[in-house]
Amino acid sequence: MSKRNSFTNKSRRRQFLLALTVTVVVISAMIFVACKGRYIFIVPGMGFLLFAVTAVVFLSRACCELISRRWPKTIGFMRCARIVRSYAGRGHAGNTSPVFDYSLEVDYDYNVEGRRYKGTRVSFFEKGYNSWKEADRARRPLLENKNIDVHYCPLNPSWSCIAQAQTRDIVIGVSAAVAASAVSLMFTLLAFYYLP
């Protein structure tokens, strides 16, 4: 991928993070003003804000995932596929051993209209794995065949993915985020209504 495309992608990420930060600050200020000095409402209000932002992120990922299914394909070359382990907290029911999540990190190259690009995205709605074995099972097909199908955006070929998430995973993820937002909103409204 050229330096110009890399710079453009970083610039877009910064713009997105800046817009998200400004949105969170503005909504937080609105919640603070709405509380009218009753600071006990800030906690449920901020909880709703957090869940609402999470739901928006999940919805945007789901939209990108569904749109990417119509993108054209090209042949790419898989450079490497790694399993990354991240700490997910402690176990439950008396089990204090740490729990980890596993995910795939990939690097691949592909060409579109004579230009070379580098991709690192498996899918827009990336899946986590509960064990190293499960992640390795998903990684193996990527390593066995170095030539892979790459789906790329026709308007911006530097956006790409090599796999599509299952519809069931998308529905579960979005439903959980929206349900959490709805429950949090209900608690916020109840707090406004019942607390002095």
CB 173 within 8 A of CB 62: yes
- The predicted model gives 5-10 an average pLDDT of 48
* 39-64 residue pLDDT tens: 556 666 677 777 777 777 778 888 88
Please tell me the pTM assigned to this model.
0.63
The DSSP symbol for 95 reads: -
Which one is predicted more confidently, 43 or 6?
Answer: 43
- The predicted model gives 99-128 an average pLDDT of 85
pLDDT grade, residue 84 (50/70/90)? confident
**pLDDT value, residue 3:** 46
From the list 133, 124, 120, the residue with the least C-alpha distance to 83 is: 133
CB 106 within 8 A of CB 146: no
pLDDT, the chain, mean? 76
The DSSP symbol for 129 reads: B
> What is the Cα–Cα distance from 161 to 65, expressed in whole angstroms?
9
pLDDT grade, residue 193 (50/70/90)? low
3-class DSSP state for residue 97?
coil
**Token pair for 171:** 């529905």
> What is the Cα–Cα distance from 154 to 67, expressed in whole angstroms?
11
Q: Which of 59-68, 75-84, 153-162 has the lowest mean pLDDT?
A: 59-68
CB 119 within 8 A of CB 162: yes
Alpha helices by DSSP H, listed for the chain, are 3-35, 42-68, 132-144, 167-194
**pLDDT value, residue 2:** 46
> What is the Cα–Cα distance from 80 to 22, expressed in whole angstroms?
37
